[in-house]
Amino acid sequence: MKAAVLGAGVGGLCAAVTLQERGVQTTLIERSARLGDICCSWIAGGMLAPHCEGESAPEDVVRLGAGALEWWARHGAQVSRTGTLVLAPPRDASEIERFALRTEGVERADEARVASLEPELAGRFRRALFFADEGHLDPRAALAALLARFEALGGVARFGVSPKHGAERIVDCRGWAARDALPELRPVRGEMLVLRAPDVRIGRCVRFLHPRIPLYVVPRGAGVYMVGATMVESGDASGVTARSAIELLNAAVALHPGFGEAEIVEMRADLRPAFPDNLPRVVERDARIFVNGFYRHGFLLAPAMAERVATLFGARVGAAA
C-alpha cells in the first residue's frame, strides 16, 4: 500500500514517519520550498507538558499526551527532561493553588525549592509548582530530525510541489489550509518572541501566571529563549502586534529583570487550527484521512494522532492480505 501525506508540519511528519515505520510506502508533500517556510509548528513552544496543559485542557489532552516525551526521544529529538516550573507574582500567589487543584503530578515548592531549581529566581517567588516528569524540545530541530528519519526509512519528501501523486490513500495534514474541506475548523492566532538574553540563566520551561498575560519561557540554549502565550480568536495572519510584543516583554521582565536587556532575535505570528472542543481529530471524509485541529498541542498530541492514522492503514493492509 502507498500513502501520500500532505503537509510537513508536526502532524504531517509524525504521520509520515509512523506510516513508513509500519511498512506503508509514504510520500510527504509540502507546498513550501523547504521545511518550516509555511508552518505554525515552526514557531511552537515545543513543550511536552501534559499535566500543565491539563489545567485548562480537556482530560483527553493529558491522556493522549502522556507518551509524547518518550516518543520524541525515540525518534531522534533532543528532549530536555528538566520538568516545568510554574510561578506567579507574590500578589497573585492564589493562582498557584488554583493551578495545583486543576492538575496532577505536581510538587508544591517553597522559596528554598525554587532557589534550588532556578538559582536566579531565588528570593523572588515564595510559592511555586514543579512538574518533574515533563520536558520540552526545540521544534525546529525536532522537525528536522523527524524528516531525516523519514528519509532514512525510505520515505520520499517533496517540497515546493502541488499534491499530484499516485498514492492509494491521502492523509491530509495541512492545518488551517484544509479549512475548505473542514469548515468546522477555526483559527487561533498565536504570537511569540525569541530573545537572546545573556544575563538570564534559566534551565527549564517556566510558566508564569502573570495577571495580564500568562506566558511561558522555554530555553533554547546559548542564552536564547522562546517567549509566548498569546491565544487570540482571530484569523488575522499579519505580524506580531505592538500590544502583544509589549505585554510579552513586560511579563518576561516581571519574571526575570535580565530580559529587559535582551536582544529581540525574532517575532512571529501564525494561525493554529482548532475544532470547537480544542481536541485534534482523525477524520475520514471525501476519500481522505484528515488529521487536524491540534490547537496549541501539536508536539504533545501529534504522536498519538499518528498512531491512529497508522491503525487505520494497518486495518486496511490486514484486510488486503
The CATH number of residue 59's host domain is 3.50.50.60
pLDDT band at 212; cut points 50, 70, 90: confident
pLDDT band at 315; cut points 50, 70, 90: very low
Same domain, 73 and 218: yes
Same domain, 58 and 190: no
Give the number of other CB atoms < 10 A from CB of residue 81.
13
Same domain, 17 and 104: no
Cell (9 digits) for 306? 499518528
pLDDT band at 214; cut points 50, 70, 90: confident
Same domain, 18 and 129: no
Torsion sign over Cα 161, 164, 167, 173: positive
Same domain, 270 and 141: no
Kindly report the pTM of this predicted structure: 0.94
Q: Residue written as cell 496549541?
A: 296
Same domain, 131 and 197: yes
pLDDT mean across residues, the chain: 93
Same domain, 249 and 194: yes
Q: Give the amino acid at 32.
A: S
Same domain, 55 and 172: yes
Return the pLDDT at 211: 77
Same domain, 60 and 191: no
Distance separating alpha carbons of residues 45 and 217, to the nearest angstrom: 8
Q: Where are the beta strands (DSSP E) in the chain?
A: 2-6, 25-30, 47-48, 84-87, 107-110, 127-131, 135-136, 156-159, 169-172, 186-196, 205-208, 215-221, 224-228, 263-274, 281-285, 288-292
Same domain, 159 and 224: no
Return the pLDDT at 165: 58
Whether residue 292 has pLDDT greater than 70: yes
Return the pLDDT at 167: 67
The CATH number of residue 265's host domain is 3.30.9.10
- Per-residue pLDDT tens over the stretch 228-266: 976 789 999 899 999 999 999 999 999 999 999 999 999
- Per-residue pLDDT tens over the stretch 66-91: 999 999 999 999 999 999 999 999 88
Distance separating alpha carbons of residues 30 and 174, to the nearest angstrom: 9
**Angstrom distances, CA of residue 37 to CA of 31, 32, 124, 233:** 9, 6, 40, 23
Same domain, 193 and 233: yes
Q: How many domains does the chain have?
A: 2
Beta pairing class for 281-285 and 205-208 = unpaired
Query: Which residues constitute the domain of residue 87?
Result: 68-135+186-274
Return the pLDDT at 321: 33
98-118: average pLDDT: 96
What's the half-sphere exposure (Cβ side, CA atoms, 13 Å) at 34? 2
- Per-residue pLDDT tens over the stretch 264-282: 999 999 999 999 999 999 9
